[in-house]
Amino acid sequence: MILLAHSTTLLKSAKTLAAIMVCITAISVVGCSQQKIKGDISNNSSNNIQYKLNSAELKSYQNAITALNENELNTAKTLLQKLSKGQPRLAEIQYNLALTYYKLNDLDGAEPSLVQALKLNPEDPQFLVLLGAIETKKGHINLAENLYIKAISHNENYANAHYNLALLYDIYYQDIHMAAGHYQRYLELSSYKDKQTVVWLEEINSSFNLHSQRNQDNPREPMAQLD
């Protein structure tokens, strides 16, 4: 599961923001870009994964997902590493291992597992969005954009893909019109539960002038949304 946001100052300083976003060598829950993951991380499991694991493996997997959701990342990593060796062809395990490395600020650790997950299921929008988030942190904005668009092409109702794409248009390209459309779709798909984004969309809908004064009391920091 990833959100980005900004203030007027960030909009006026795209180069500064870009430098901030790539100033660490790994994605972080809290880092120099204040990258965060909003809400709990879903287990991304197919409904029949229980039929692919024996009882001991299933219990271990459930414990790993609980640890991941509770931000006990080293525990999750240890459990998922062991599972990935025993079940290397289960994409859900590879994805969650990659996500754990992502949250541990370890891009080098995340990428091999994510590549394996995508080999097993190249059209999974969650996998594509996570890869997009990684590429964003590496400063490969055009590649990240293409990955988010591809995720939407496979599931046009995947809210996080719309949000992260809106983020790129908003922060990096400063294309507020395009950003607003994807923010709107994200809110529709998420039942308008993200009140901060509701307020932000109201602000940017009030004026598409990039140099207009934004609400300084409601700054939005760069964050990515994954599940």
Q: Where are the alpha helices (DSSP H) in 22-72?
A: 55-69
Q: In the prediction, which pLDDT does 38 show? A: 31
188-213: per-residue pLDDT in tens? 999 999 999 999 999 988 866 544 44
User: Where exactly are the structural domains of the chain?
Assistant: 8-206
Contact predicate 204/176, CB 8 Å = yes
Half-sphere exposure of 108 (CA within 13 A, CB side): 2
What letters, b where the CB count within 10 A reaches 16 and e where it falls short, cover 77-107? Answer: bebbbebbeebeebbbbbbbbbbbbbbbbbb
**Spatial distance between the Cα atoms of 130 and 19, rounded to a whole number of angstroms:** 21
115 or 43, higher pLDDT: 115
Tell whether the model's pLDDT for residue 154 goes beyond 70.
Answer: yes
More confident residue, 24 or 142: 142
- Provide the token pair at 176: 């507020």
- Burial of 64 per CB tally in 10 Å (0-12, 13-18, 19+): buried
Query: How large is the average pLDDT for residues 140-164?
Result: 97
Does this model's pTM top 0.85? My answer is: no
pLDDT, residue 208, reads 60
DSSP one-letter code for 213: P
Chosen CATH of 8-206 out of 3.30.460.80, 1.20.120.80, 1.25.40.10, 3.40.190.150: 1.25.40.10
pLDDT over threshold 90, residue 1:
no
pLDDT for position 116: 96
| CA distances to 74, 95, 125, 177, 185 from 118, in Å | 23, 8, 10, 32, 26
Q: Give the model's pLDDT for residue 216.
A: 44
Question: Does residue 219 register a pLDDT over 70?
Answer: no
